[in-house]
Structure 1
Amino acid sequence: MTEKSTELTWLGIWFKNRAKIIGGVIVIVAVGVTAIMNWPGSKSIGGVPAVEASYAGSGDHKKPVVVVFIHGIFGDKSTWGRQESSFPEMLVSDPALSGKVDAFSFRYYTPAFQSAANVSQLAVQLDGVLEDKEVMQDHEKVVFLCHSMGGLVLRRHLLMTHKLDKVAMIYFYATPTNGVEIANIAKVVSSNPQLRAMFPLEGNELLQNLQDDWLHWEEARRLPSYCAYEAVPTVGNIFIVPQSSARALCSEVYPMNANHMQIVKPPRRDDPRYSRFVTAMRKAVGASLLNPATTISDQPYPRTVAVEVPGAREQGTYTEVFVKKGDVLRFSARGIWCWGGTSGCSDADGTPGRPKADEDPEAVMLKGQHFGTLIGRVKDWYFAIGTSRAIEAKETGNLVLLMNDRKGTYDFDNSGSIQVTATVEAGMSGRRE
């Protein structure tokens, strides 16, 4: 090959791929700048890479709902904005959610120029933090909010643990579910193995397995999964995570007028980056669980509430009645609800009708109880009401009422509702007070 033909070949490659080449150079520079900006954020203690986790705001952090924030690669607490006005702080100080929502942030070691834990190892670290801090135990419902690679860490965590009992929804902001071309370029300047998790889907065994396992897990497919994608390029005309990757495996999709870095930094509560998340959370968790709280700890005995309990509400009906361990609960109910279409319906007082012969009572929300039984929940304690009229509380917290059915099936064929009156009387400890 002559010198001239070689020159023409290189010119041909340049003109054919100039956009990618220029974009790659821009991204390499951007990665370097991001690394410098985030260098203090990826902390180590005594030379050992640190995993950190903390709640935003003050208090006992045992509110009904917790939102768990998980940042992406090269991220840290600054991912969510300035400390005093960050997404987590904005959430816990929202007057409309007063006393109802905690914000918990998981932060992991993600340097630009050093090795670190891979996505599967980060998923194990996330599980350890949630367990150590008793995040799942201390809240009625759990919502996950993930930025970029944080969504991959979460999906890997859920597939490893299968802990979906309390998970109400996931909101993914610019998560590269199908991978991104830019990861192939960024690896030139970064030795962080976390980049490999974001290589394009073709040839990326981790992403392929994540998607296959998620799609074959029925409960995961039914879990509300909202996805926001960046509608503004980050540098030039470069989108860090293209729409085609960010919207995969989603229940609902929303374009955000922000780039990859700004998509989780809402400047105010009426910005869609914040408002769309809160609206989705209300739908997934249930408006009653997020209504502004009344003072319940000082409620006098007896405490009575009359509520409508729909059959098609898996999260149940959250009441404002506070129950202490040892209190006596009394119930009366009236109405009809049905499960499995009209093949099984309750009696008029909400007690179970005849369950179908082929139904397994072990498969329902409260094992050992028939379909259609009126059941209650206080924190993690589930109990059958049925024809019982006096029940001693085994846990302390707010009372939730619901129909006993198979998890993940409530919205499909359940119908009807019953009116329940619940009264809480003081137990022996309450009488001594």
Structure 2
Amino acid sequence: MRRTFILLWTLCLLCLAAVPLAHADALKPRVIVFVHGLHGDRETWRAANGAYWPQMIQTDPHFRNSDVVVAQYPTPSSHGQYSTQQLSEILYRSLQSQHVFDHREIVFLAHSLGGLLTEEMLLNHPDVAARTRFIVSYATPHEGSFVASLAKIYDSDPLLTDLSDNNDNNFLIDLEQKWRGTPSAVRIHRYCAFETQDTAAGEGIGRYLHAHTRVVSFYSATYGCDVDTPPQKIDADHIGIVKPVSRTADAYTFFARVYHNNPVLDTVELTRDNRVSGLTVECNKTNTASDLQVPVALDPTLHEQLLWASAEFVDTDKVHDDAQPTVTKTDPIGVAHIAYSFKGQGKSLLIVGCPTGRASILVHFHIRGQVPLNE
């Protein structure tokens, strides 16, 4: 009962603290969501020189088609009470209150635990996953962390169990298996960056350390990530990896490169025609078909989908074409199934012999596709 009360109270605080985006009509087509890691907060993204990553993106004209949201969720410095599953739901409710899911496209920039929370949230909310284009994870321990295994000896925080590098870490095993087995998740690109420096003992995650230690190994940080984009090396420790001092820093340029390799897409609708010519009919005869299959080329790179199709007779000569062809159904792969029938003319006193009739069928394919927006 006490845990339920705390969870509800936390959700209320997050909703009050959230700064809502503009009205849905004024939202930009894409939103970039910053998700901090263990013991993090809004200051996770601020460098020693004061540079604040979310603000740098907000003022960068290369990201003018995107809103920026800095997510928050409760992760106290010691003795936390929430599991990863619980925090992923708290994260979802917080982002929902900030109208993040009203955007056409969502991308996540996540640090450490934040990457795992994001993946868990998307698995539990397929409607959000359907809008998500990609995740860029910085030092996310997909295979766990030795530091978390050490820390759980001293701290009862359930997050440390979920983040440990033990071979029997059921949370991480199940998360990856579910991710690879869920169609809405598989289509989401996962890009990764890794730290190259050890983290010193100190505040935050460093409170568990007695010496310089690599918090998340290269293998853990890059496991399960897209293979067509090499993981990015960041010359920083686990804390500094998400604190770029300028727009030329590796952490910043890596995200910018991934972003522009996956441009914002604008949905457009268009009509593409295909003509079936050479249909003939003998005098006083009927040419009929119940399933004439007419294809149209769809461009998979533009995510084109066939919505519906219509058909008409054109270029008719010496035929009776009172009834127009009918599209009985369409296939998603881009095929219209057409039923048609037309009759040839009879003999005429003015024409010697019995003429052959001719007709063509023009099919109008109505297609929805996506084209990149220029930024």
**TM tier, smaller:** 0.5 to 0.7
SS class of match (1:194): helix
1:153 maps to 117
Contact 2:33–2:69 (8 Å) recurs in 1? yes
Q: Is contact 2:305-2:332 (8 Å) kept? A: no
Write the letter of the residue equivalent to 2:142.
T
2:185 aligns to what SS in structure 1?
helix
**What displacement does 1:112 show?**
2.1
What residue is the counterpart of 1:244 in the other structure? 219
Q: What is the alpha-carbon root mean square deviation over aligned residues?
A: 4.0
- Whichever structure has more strand as a proportion of its residues is 2
Q: CA 1:95/1:193 → structure 2, altered by over 3 Å: closer, same or farther?
A: same
1:344 Cα deviation from its structure 2 partner:
8.5
In structure 2, the residue matched to 1:172 is 137
Do the aligned partners of residues 268 and 401 (structure 1) sit closer, same or farther apart at CA in structure 2, a change above 3 Å counting? farther
TM-score (norm 2): 0.64
Q: SS where residue 100 of structure 2 aligns?
A: coil
Picking from 85, 89, 108, the partner of 2:51 is: 85
Which residue is 1:273 aligned to? 251
Query: Given the alignment of the two structures, is residue 140 of structure 1 paired with residue 109 of structure 2, yes or no?
Result: no
Separation in 2 of the partners of 1:353 and 1:56? 35
* Counterparts of 1:72 and 1:353, CA distance in 2: 42
Contact 2:107 2:132 in 1 (8 A): yes
Indicate the residue corresponding to 1:182 in structure 2. 147
The question of whether the paired residues in 1 share the 8 Å contact of 2:273 and 2:364 is answered with no
Gaps of 5+ in 2: 1-5, 201-210, 276-292, 299-303, 310-328, 336-362
The residue type paired with residue 171 of structure 1 is V
- After superposition, the Cα gap between the structure-2 partners of 1:220 and 1:112, relative to the gap in structure 1 and judged at 3 Å, is same
Contact 1:266/1:273, CA 8 A, preserved across alignment: yes
Residue from 166, 181, 200 that aligns with 2:165: 200
Count of matched residue pairs: 281
Give the 3 Å change call, closer, same or farther, for CA 105–203 of structure 1 in structure 2: same
For residues 379-398 of structure 1, the C-alpha deviation after alignment (integer angstroms, 9 at most, x for no partner) is xxxxxxx9489xxxxxxxxx
What's 1:109 paired with? 74
1:264 aligns with 2:242: yes
**Shift in CA distance, 59/256, structure 1 to aligned 2, threshold 3 Å:** farther
Q: Is the 8 A contact 1:56 1:89 kept in 2?
A: no
1:372 counterpart residue number:
334
Question: What is the CA distance between 1:187 and its match in structure 2?
Answer: 2.4
1:404-430 CA-partner distances (Å, limit 9, x unpaired)? xxxxxxxxxxxxx9xxxxxxxxxxxxx
CA distance in 2, matches of 1:190, 1:114: 6
Unaligned runs of 5+ in 1: 1-43, 290-314, 320-328, 337-342, 356-366, 374-385, 390-399, 404-416, 418-433
Per-residue deviation at 1:66?
0.3
Query: Separation in 1 of the partners of 2:147 and 2:77?
Result: 15
Identity among equivalent pairs (%): 27
- Aligned 8 A contact 1:231 1:257 in 2: yes
What is the CA–CA distance in structure 2 between the aligned matches of 1:181 and 1:214, rounded to whole Å? 23
Q: Do 1:147 and 1:173's aligned partners in 2 also have CA atoms closer than 8 Å?
A: yes
TM-score (norm 1): 0.56
CA 1:56–1:86: 2 relative to 1, 3 Å = farther
**Counterpart Cα distance in 2 of 1:234 and 1:58:** 39
Stretches (4+) displaced over 4 A: 47-50, 52-61, 331-336, 350-355
Q: Distance in 2 between matches of 1:146 and 1:351?
A: 32
Q: In structure 1, how many angstroms separate the alpha carbons of the residues matched to 2:332 and 2:190?
A: 30
Residues 181, 89 of structure 1: alpha-carbon distance in 2 compared, 3 angstrom cutoff: same
